[in-house]
Copies of this chain bind each other. A is one copy, B any other.
Amino acid sequence: MKQEFYEKTLATKSIFQGKVIELVVKDVELPDGNTSKREIVHHPGAVAIIALTKDKKLLVIEQFRKPLEKTIIEIPAGKLEKGEDPLECARRELEEETGFRAISINFITSFYTSPGFADELIHIYFTDEIEIGEVNPDEDEFLSVLEVSLSEAEQLIEEQKIHDAKTIYAIQYLKLKGGLT
């Protein structure tokens, strides 16, 4: 790390500890010796799965997202449980949300979603070998599963129904990789 950019923590105040996120405010010493405050959301991390059917269509989820007050279409995803291995989490979330079980699954990449205010790190997996499993969404999760072609996915981006970072990443990944119908 470049030492000249480092911000030393002077004090940490926990504002809120919820089911999903924790909010803290940190007083920091800036590189020039001045101080500032950083508002930081701690998040357990997440996984998302780029899953192709036998027909080479992409499995997506339609789901109401309260922060946006709208229903959007995303690739299957979910939060890491405490101590959970991301690969196991990806297998679990794929089956719970879509009813498909991954026969094989590979790690693609990971990225921070909002490094300015949150530490959420999302791990992306890929599978094109799936079999029928068992749907079992969380008790407060209501969703439907769709299978879309590349042109349908691009139309959904146009219509802002696909409208989130991980799903737009997934479409780009498949365009670069090839293989989506």
Residues of A within 8 A of B (CB): 1-2, 4-7, 15-16, 18-21, 23, 25-26, 28, 30-32, 34, 36-43, 46, 62-68, 70-72, 74, 77, 79, 109-120, 122, 139-140, 142-144, 157, 160, 163-166, 168-169, 172-173, 175-176
Q: A1-B70, A66-B40 are in contact. Are A114 and B118 (CB under 8 A)?
A: yes
Give the distance to chain B from A124, nearest Cβ to Cβ, in Å. 10
A81 to B61, CA, bound (A): 33
Q: Which residues of B contact A110 (CB under 8 A)?
A: 160, 163
Are the CB atoms of B21 and A140 closer together than 8 Å? no
Say whether B67 contacts A118, CB under 8 Å: yes
Can you report 14 A-B residue pairs in the complex whose CB atoms are below 8 A from each other? A2-B71, A20-B39, A32-B142, A38-B66, A65-B115, A67-B116, A67-B117, A67-B118, A74-B115, A110-B163, A113-B113, A114-B118, A117-B120, A165-B169
Beyond known contacts A23-B23, A41-B67, A110-B160: 6 more, CB 8 A cutoff: A6-B71, A20-B116, A30-B142, A31-B142, A42-B67, A43-B117
Q: Which residue of B lies closest to A63 (CB)?
A: B5
Q: Which of B7, B67, B114 contacts A38 (CB 8 A)?
A: B67
